[in-house]
A and B are shown apart, each in its own frame.
Chain A
Amino acid sequence: MTVTPELKDTSPEKLLAPVLSAFWDEDRSWSMDVYRRHEGYEGLRKALAMSPDDVIAYVKDSGLRGRGGAGFPTGMKWQFIPQGDGKPHYLVVNADESEPGTCKDIPLLFANPHSLIEGMVIACYAIRSSHAFIYLRGEVVPVLRRLHEAVREAYAAGYLGENILGSGLNLHLTVHAGAGAYICGEETALLDSLEGRRGQPRLRPPFPAVEGLYACPTVVNNVESIASVPAILKNGKDWFRSMGSEKSPGFTLYSLSGHVATPGQYEAPLGITLRQLLDMSGGMRSGHRLKFWTPGGSSTPMFTDEHLDVPLDYEGVGAAGSMLGTKALQCFDETTCVVRAVTRWTEFYAHESCGKCTPCREGTYWLVQLLRDIEAGKGTMSDLDKLADIADNINGKSFCALGDGAASPIFSSLKYFRGEYEQHITGRGCPFDPAKSTAWADRPEVNA
């Protein structure tokens, strides 16, 4: 449905569209000089020549949707901020990239941090905020180092601070490092964490747009969403809408990983398919076949080789029974045990459950017990129904989306690979050899 004529052409030059990644291979791509050489901060100049309300309308008209997983329209989030309420407004950028498989914001911030800072200045002008935060997960010191430097450069050049470019806009930007908690990627848990508390999600309503950070109106946006804004202002919303589909316009970063010949970042218009990405990049590793994959991280229901032609946009992936999520395309070949994969993801959710609500805290614990037994060949057939039942008691019944995410791999793997679970039970053990799945399995010279 979203396959445009250009997308039928299989050449990467036609299929890919590097925008945010366009100059990552240049020396010092992360610096202010290189960013400005690529028309950096030109989008900001255009924005400052408009009224704040017009900037919000422009971003809304561009159709930009959140790149952090849920796909909520970015401009609409900005519009929800009540104006003239006399309270401070805040912008908080969610750079807590921790969803298993997701690896787009970290390389983006490492190679091109100024795209985020420029986007933040534009967003703060639009929502009338004078203090913005980047909540970066703590475990990525190389990125923290470059963010510190980029913010220092932006202050020195007058893009942050008082009276930015003579517009009267004052903006302070604080880089805040987290301390290791997946749950802080959930926007309300992130706000609690930024207020110096345990990262636990809040009841909504009130939504952050009304009562967010310090109970003031707050926009929480993903890194890639905000970093995409300067290019939209600079090149125009029609340019943005010329890519992707009517409901999923624009470009985005797809992260290919796992048993593929060429893992990495591929920036393309929304709606490209996994088959197209694999065709251009050398396919799966030599001699192997795709078995299962996630379209957007471990929290999105898995797909199989039946889904190679699903357009990777919000509607396409949704119609096929999953979610576009973070576009983390983790590909596993036929050497991989799906029970092992799902057990490990479930252990992750159990470890990262914040403990606030019972379905998630207790449910993920029991899922792990059952899955470990099944993987070790100690399960019974009735355990499979019990797994599905517990997952059903978490899904939609937990306090936040972490619980739903924990249920996704269970449901989807039972749907596509129930036979493999049964094989573990009837065969009293795992039929797979983990050594065959390793990156060096087909390279015997590696001393494993």
Chain B
Amino acid sequence: MTTSSSERGVSLGMPELPAPAYPDDVRARLEADARDVIARYPDSRSALLPLLHLVQSEEGHVTRTGMRFCADMLDLTTAEVTAVATFYTMYRRRPSGDYQVGVCTNTLCAVMGGDAIFETLQEHLGVGNGETTDDGKVTLEHIECNAACDFAPVVMVNWEFFDNQTPGSAKHLVDDLRAGRPVQPTRGARLCTFKETARMLAGFPDERPGAVEEGGSAGPASLVGLRLARGEAAPARVVHPRAQEPQDTPSAGQAEEEGE
């Protein structure tokens, strides 16, 4: 109760001025994209989530200018847009890095090593949850279950999968990202920047030649049942090549361990 309102960042004086508009050329370009998005829906308001992804692809986070743009395009109030933008975790509300590194710390990944990976990266990068390295390259976050539990522990970079990680492989990964070395996800295409990812989320397909087929048809864990059904032996447990450790191949005859 001892801090003044200005110290808490609350202004009791003049209300905040309306957000500045985009420069004319940016606005013209975004408007064309926005009309494309709106045309996909029977009701224009349905375009709000994609449009928030679109403005995020312009500036790397959702700014007041971006929200004003969405409101203008959809004939909503900025309050209505803000209410939606603040509900969803994928919309960033402050400037962040080119690469969002998300470590899954939901129960299964956490237990399998996600907690250790997240601690290691915080120490290694010197940043906490949601913070960005000084060079503006990496924003570290812990994330919830990303539907890849059979590849645990999982790290996502700009929402691309880096499966079967260890603290060591995750350190290599962020070092490579910061040094600008090429980094290949374990499933899916070459990494692009956070802004380029946001544009795909707005509904604009990846235009890079070959991107769709990169990463193969399915990850190794996705195929184990199929291989067994064909009478083939279970494949070796897959470890990300960055880990550079011998592969731990489960041999036959471990079947009796399951809790009798």
With A and B bound together, what is the CA distance between A208 and B147 in angstroms?
26
Report if A279 contacts B (CB, 8 A). Answer: yes
Report if A281 contacts B (CB, 8 A). Answer: yes
For A283, give its contact among B110, B150, B166, B254 (CB under 8 Å).
Answer: B254
User: From residue A252, how far is it (CB to closest CB) to chain B in Å?
Assistant: 11
Report if A268 contacts B (CB, 8 A). Answer: yes
User: Interface size on B (CB < 8 Å)?
Assistant: 97
For A146, give its contact among B88, B91, B212, B229 (CB under 8 Å).
Answer: B212
- Contact flags B50-84 to A (C-beta < 8 A → 1, else 0): 10110000000000000000000010000000011
Contact A308 B259 (CB under 8 A): yes
Contact A145 B259 (CB under 8 A): no
Give every chain B residue within 8 A of A239 (Cβ-Cβ): none
Give every chain A residue within 8 A of B188 (Cβ-Cβ): 110, 141-142, 145
With A and B bound together, what is the CA distance between A340 and B107 in angstroms?
8
The interface of chain A, by Cβ under 8 A from chain B, is 11-13, 16-18, 21-22, 24-31, 88, 97-103, 105-107, 110-111, 131, 137-142, 144-146, 148-149, 152, 174-182, 193-199, 214, 254-259, 261-268, 275, 278-291, 298, 305, 308, 328, 330, 332, 336, 340-341, 344-345, 348, 351-352, 354, 434-435, 437-440, 442-443, 445-448
| Identity of the chain A residue whose Cβ is nearest the Cβ of B187 in the assembled complex | A142
Contact B105 A344 (CB under 8 A): yes
Contact B234 A141 (CB under 8 A): no
Contact A263 B206 (CB under 8 A): no
Give every chain B residue within 8 A of A285 (Cβ-Cβ): 250, 254, 257
Q: A179-B90, A198-B87 are in contact. Are A103 and B218 (CB under 8 A)?
A: no
User: From residue B174, how far is it (CB to closest CB) to chain A in Å?
Assistant: 15
Contact A25 B227 (CB under 8 A): yes
Besides the known contacts A174-B40, A199-B87, A289-B258, 9 further A-B residue pairs in the complex with CB atoms under 8 A apart: A101-B108, A107-B222, A137-B147, A142-B215, A196-B45, A214-B42, A263-B150, A440-B166, A448-B116
Report if B19 contacts A (CB, 8 A). Answer: no
User: From residue B188, how far is it (CB to closest CB) to chain A in Å?
Assistant: 3
Contact A26 B245 (CB under 8 A): no
Give every chain B residue within 8 A of A268 (Cβ-Cβ): 225
Q: A152-B205, A195-B45, A284-B257 are in contact. Are A102 and B149 (CB under 8 A)?
A: yes
